[in-house]
Chain A
Amino acid sequence: MNWLPPNGALHGLAIDHLLRWNLTVLFWLFVAAQALLVAALVRRWVSRGEGHAVQHRSGAAFFFADLLPLAAITALYIWMMFASHKLWAASRESVESPQAVQVEVTGEQFEWYFRYPGADGVFGATRADLINAPQGNPLGLDPADAHAADDIVSAILVLPAGRPVDVTLRSIDVIHGFAIPGMRLKQDAIPGMTGHLQFTPAVPGEYPILCTQVCGLGHARMQARLRVVAPADYERWIAARESALRAEAAR
């Protein structure tokens, strides 16, 4: 289990715990089943004498050899499902927190863009025909919309530790897979749809962001960085980006 990258998310501990006991139980089931196969081989090598006529199995033998283990395995599967459903429900069926940091993540070949709503707390409108990355408008922000003026667009995702985050997920071209292994997080960004994802980064540090849905020749390069910082540092970073935006607008 040390294969997993270090976990930095609030929900990640429970996920790792679930994954760990799942894999442990199933690994020993695997070992037991393979041991039975080997035993069948060894038994054949050992008993070289003429076999005796074996009675055809009675109902009771069938019960003990087949149905009892089957019932046990079924109970295990159901237990797994219950344990896991709690985590799934907590992560996907929860109502978003009013304190949540709002971030919009947009995938396009082969970049991730992160947009913060700015001081007004509202994402400005975007229009597909305004998308023009070389001219600095990769998301197609509409200058006619007042809410768009203070939107911060970043190539790095900076988030405060300990605050819930509400991610809005979009793609402007093909399906991309938004994945942060360190946050135990993955969801597809599907063009034409807006996805939502909630999580709480807990441990400050840097976490790679990957694309996990094959999206073109640059798929393996489509990576970005999540930087989880202390809340004060986050406020400072946002303020710096806002003043840079104002300075640019004044020019």
Chain B
Amino acid sequence: MSAVIPVRVRRPLLSRVFTSSHRDLAILWLLLALAAVILGTLLSLAMRIHRVWPMLPFPFYGVPTPEQYLAGVTMHGTLMIFFVLTVVPQAAFPNLVLPAQIGASRMAFPRLNAAAFWIGFASFLALIAAFFVPQGAPIGGWTAYPPFSEIAAAGPGQGAGMDLWLVSILLFCAASLAAAFNFLVTILARRAQGMTLGRMPLTVWSWLVSSALTVIAFSALLAAAFMLLADRHFGTGFFLPAGEVVNGIRQRDPAAPGSPMLWLHLFWFFGHPEVYISILPGMGLASSLIANFTRRPVPGYRFMVTATTLIGFLGLGVWGHHIFVSGMNPYAGTAFGLTTIAIAVPSSAEVLTWLAMLFRGRIRLTTPMLFTLGFISFFIAGGLTGPVLAQPALDAYLHNTFFVVAHFHLVMAMAGVFSVFAGIYYWYPLLTGRRMNEVLGNLHFWISLIAAYGTFFPMHFAGLAGEPRHYAQLSGPVESFASLIPVEKGITFSALLLAAAQLIFLFNVFRSARHGIAAGENPWRATTLEWSPNAHPIIESGPYVYGPGVASQDDFRPQWAFAENRNGSPGECSPPLKQE
């Protein structure tokens, strides 16, 4: 092994924690997401087990009550959507590589960027604290529809727990806005000379669009969360209608009665772009990785940039499809159905481009490439039910059933998480100088792929059978979904397997940091600037340029210029990967 592991200066731990260095912040964000994903996964496993064995007591805990189940649903959703699927693609990864990919030595606002992490960390603590207050965490789901989220008497967890949830959301909004402003300005103002917009990697284009979406969407959520907090404590009535009676007790009539519909619109005006905030970076990464591992340029680079921008733009106009059944004007249902179908077109365009790319060169099946294929697989599986749910007539049957649960867990959660894995396997050498173990990576991929399909695909059938979300028990006083128990058990076993497979990943992450094979400076022979050996590169070309000659030195045409050798084999690059 000729490659050398760069000598790392050991810095004191405190200076790596209280830092404004974007790489260190990336690690902090990743650790925060790791804590959140572990907790969120454990909650989901507890819910899965409770659904199929409702009488089974948990060790040192007992049998969960319905409100504890619902608190689990709320916290699972909040942790996963905000602290995993937003934090990793939209905070950790850009901190890790965004400045390098545009040839910048640092972020535009390093201290604002660092503040974003600490606000995000405070947000996480506030959320976790909700478990420990009297009556526990809120039970209204991550969408927190008022008046249920507005009136403390409406249920356990809707008092102090709900307040903490709102504080957590407010802080998270502030953190996301700070981070997104920093990324936007960094992309627009700190690109190195030669890094024109048309030469930016598609990951950077994704971050440009998703950061713009973050600024718009999280502003709406920030306002909504503050209004709800004001309703609860300062006597306003944005979301509170007159004549509320909860538990037989007459509630206050606000001076100017409001409507829960306002929250539905504000929340989903945030909620839908949020999906794209968390998935667009993964889409950009998929394009980059397929190009790199097939050594072929992205066909229609401008086409992909247009599709990404169009998805971001249209993503702001589809929120109404979450509330087709709210009784809003039926013409609005038609309009939101049309915009939703419209957004399926650029999404399909990206998928078709990826599929076409796979047949153009020889795929080098590294672990990051495998996870990219998994990402595409889930993106298709979950994406194809999108046009079904976009039809108000069909949504009126499928809304809030497990069909929807299957849809968003495939297209957002699994696709999102698989692209996160692709990113971690791919960029791991940047942090450690070593590569993660490929055998363990393959094992992790195949078990996760099969278990994830085993978990989420059968949920379509439960949903078609009419089984609603948020049910602590499968059998109620009138309707019983007991006939679905075999399916439900299969889902639970798959979920347990899926979670267990992640132990392989964790083991690989920590073991490879010490014992992984040395990666050299550019193990994937990538052409984008985060792999550039010099800090101030001269940018000469677009991100996905490869010379002729597959898997040879000749195809390596990085974005940075070589000082010593323009035409021959570059000295900085590792030898080509062996085809296993």
Contact = CB atoms under 8 A, between A and B. Distances in A.
A222 B478 CA distance: 9
B365 A4 contact: no
B471 A19 contact: no
Contacts of B297: 56
A70 B348 contact: yes
A109 B247 contact: yes
A19 B387 CA distance: 11
B330 A93 contact: yes
A65 B399 contact: no
Interface stretch (A97-105, A115-123, A129-137, A235-243): A129-137
Contacts of B454: none
B245 A172 contact: yes
Interface string A36-47: 110111011001
Contact of A54 (B141, B360, B396): B360
A88 B334 contact: yes
Interface in B360-383: 360-363, 365, 373, 376-377, 380-381
A80 B387 CA distance: 8
A33 B261 contact: no
A204 B376 CA distance: 46
Contacts of A148: none
Contacts of B390: 81
Interface in B67-88: 67, 70, 73
B394 A19 contact: yes
B66 A77 contact: no
Contact of B470 (A29, A73, A214, A223): A214
B223 interface: no
Given A65-B352, A84-B391, A177-B400, A216 B154 contact: yes
A52 interface: yes
A73 B348 contact: yes
Nearest to A176: B148
A144 interface: no
A92 B145 CA distance: 24
B477 interface: yes
A184 B397 contact: yes
B341 interface: yes
A15 B394 contact: yes
A51 B156 contact: no
B296 interface: yes
A133 B257 CA distance: 25
B65 A43 contact: no
Nearest to A88: B393
Chain B interface mostly helix, strand, loop or mixed?
A: loop
B139 A29 contact: no
A18 B66 contact: no
Contacts of B259: 190, 192-193
Interface string A178-199: 0101001111101111011000
Contacts of A65: 352, 356
Contact of B65 (A212, A214, A217): A217
A113 B550 CA distance: 71
Interface string B292-314: 00001101100100000000000
A77 B245 contact: no
Contacts of A88: 330, 333-334, 337, 391-393, 396
Contact of B140 (A187, A214, A225): A214
B246 interface: yes
Given A74-B345, A84-B391, A212-B400, A51 B352 contact: no
Nearest to B247: A109
B50 to A, nearest CB: 12
Contacts, number: 286
A194 B414 CA distance: 39
A214 B548 contact: no
A172 B363 contact: no
B241 interface: yes
Contact of A22 (B155, B388, B465): B388
A234 to B, nearest CB: 20
Nearest to A74: B345
A103 to B, nearest CB: 16
A196 to B, nearest CB: 8
B243 A225 contact: no
B393 A69 contact: no
B362 A223 contact: no
B473 interface: yes
A87 interface: yes
A10 to B, nearest CB: 14
B478 A51 contact: no
Contacts of B331: 93
A23 interface: yes
Contacts of A231: none
Given A80-B391, A188-B326, A219-B470, A131 B244 contact: no
A169 B327 contact: yes
B361 A216 contact: no
B150 to A, nearest CB: 9
Interface in A193-231: 193, 195-196, 208-225
Contact of B468 (A93, A190, A210): A210
A212 B247 CA distance: 20
Contacts of A18: 391, 393-394
B167 interface: no
6 contacts: A22-B394, A40-B363, A44-B362, A51-B362, A187-B325, A192-B242
Interface of A: 1, 3-5, 15, 18-19, 22-23, 26, 29-30, 33-34, 36-37, 39-41, 43-44, 47-48, 50-54, 56-57, 62, 65-66, 69-70, 73-74, 77-78, 80-81, 84-85, 87-89, 91-93, 108-109, 128-129, 131-134, 140, 169, 172-175, 177, 179, 181, 184-188, 190-193, 195-196, 208-225
Given A40-B359, A66-B300, A88-B330, 6 more contacts: A15-B393, A22-B388, A77-B341, A216-B154, A220-B476, A223-B478
Interface of B: 65-67, 70, 73, 139-141, 145-148, 151, 154-156, 241-248, 250, 257-261, 296-297, 299-300, 303, 323, 325-327, 330-331, 333-334, 337-338, 341, 344-345, 348-349, 351-353, 355-356, 358-363, 365, 373, 376-377, 380-381, 384-385, 387-388, 390-394, 396-397, 399-401, 461, 464-466, 468-473, 476-479, 548-551, 579
Instruction: For the complex of A and B, list the 4 residue pairs with the smallest distance between their C-beta atoms, beginning with the closest.
Output: A192-B241, A181-B466, A208-B479, A128-B243
